[in-house]
Amino acid sequence: MEYRHKTSPSPRKFKVVASARKVLFTVFWDMEGVVQMEFLEQGQTVNSERYISTLRALKLRLRRVRRDKDSILQHDNKYLKGHHYDNDEEVIADVRRWCRGQSSEFFANGVRQRVKRWRLCVDSDGDYVEK
């Protein structure tokens, strides 16, 4: 119920639009390329239990694909920002295609940038560091 003056215009009704669905994917990569990629199923959330499961799977994968190597891992999901898809399968296919299309230098540069930021952070005693 709404109180208004008799001459006031009628209240506007807004269209109800279904909220955009989002697909969360997590990719771990090092200087050689993608180590593990995981897509979160619809209706699932990232909580401690889920993340522990992801990290355990990552540990097993590292043993298989990066045997006897130390890796600095980058964990990112920024590629999808601003992209729109009709369904989950399109998202997954595009992300996989994008990852396969990146050169090893792309991944190496990403890790090098991370190391530079760590150094800046350490040098500034943990204060905020701009990119």
- Residues 51-110: pLDDT tens digits? 899 999 999 998 898 887 777 676 665 777 788 888 888 888 988 898 899 998 998 888
> Among residues 78, 73, 50, 49, which one has the least CA distance to residue 61?
73
Domain membership of residue 16 (yes or no) is no
The pTM (predicted TM-score) of the whole model is 0.64
For the chain, what is the domain count? 1
Domain membership of residue 129 (yes or no) is no
Domain membership of residue 49 (yes or no) is yes
DSSP E strand boundaries for the chain: 25-30, 33-39, 74-76
| pLDDT tens, residue by residue, 16-66 | 555 456 777 888 888 888 888 888 877 788 889 988 999 999 999 988 988
